[in-house]
Amino acid sequence: CMSVCVSAVAGICPTVPLSNGLHIPILGLGTSHHGGFSHDAVVHALTECGLRHIDTAERYGCEEKLAAAIRESGVPRSDLWLTNKLWPGNYGYRAAKQACLQSCSRMGVDYLDLYLMHWPAAQTPGFSNREVRAETWRALEELYEEGVCRAIGVSNFLVKHLEQLKEDCNVVPHVNQVEYHLLHQPSQLMSYCRQEGIVFEGFSPLAKGQALSLPAVCQMAEKYKRTPAQICIRWSVQNGVVTIPKSTKKSRIQENCQVFGFELEKADMMLLCGLQNGTHVSWDPTDVE
Question: Is residue 113 domain-resident?
Answer: yes
Tell me, yes or no, if 60 is annotated catalytic: yes
In a domain, 151, yes or no: yes
Distance CA 188, CA 289 (A): 18
Establish if 114 belongs to a structural domain.
Answer: yes
The predicted structure's pLDDT at residue 37: 87
Q: Please, are residues 92 and 125 in contact by the beta-carbon 8 Å criterion? A: no
pLDDT of residue 11: 53
Structural domain that includes position 137: 25-273
What is the count of structural domains for the chain?
1
Residue 19 lies in a domain: no
pLDDT number for residue 94 = 98
Residue 8 lies in a domain: no
Return the CATH number at 214: 3.20.20.100
What residues are designated binding site for substrate? 118
CB 120 within 8 A of CB 157: yes
Digitized pLDDT (tens) for each residue of the chain, 289 residues in all: 555 555 554 457 899 999 999 999 999 999 987 777 899 999 999 999 999 999 999 999 999 999 999 999 999 999 999 999 999 999 999 999 999 999 999 999 999 999 999 999 998 889 999 999 999 999 999 999 999 999 999 999 999 999 999 999 999 999 999 999 999 999 999 999 999 999 999 999 999 999 999 999 999 999 999 999 999 999 999 999 999 999 999 999 999 999 999 999 999 999 999 999 999 999 999 999 9
Answer whether residue 158 is part of any domain: yes
The answer to whether residue 18 sits within a structural domain is no
Residue 7 lies inside a defined structural domain of this protein: no
| Phi/psi at 143 (5° precision) | -60, -35
CA angle 72, 82, 170 (to 5 degrees): 160
End-to-end CA separation in angstroms for the chain = 27
Please give the pLDDT value at position 137.
98
Instruction: Give the pLDDT confidence score for residue 32 in this predicted structure.
Output: 85
Exactly one of 60, 91, 115, 180 is catalytic; which is it?
A: 60
Q: Report the pLDDT value the prediction gives residue 123, as an integer from 0 to 100.
A: 83
Residue 33 makes CB contacts below 8 A (sequence gap 6+) with: 59, 60, 61, 62
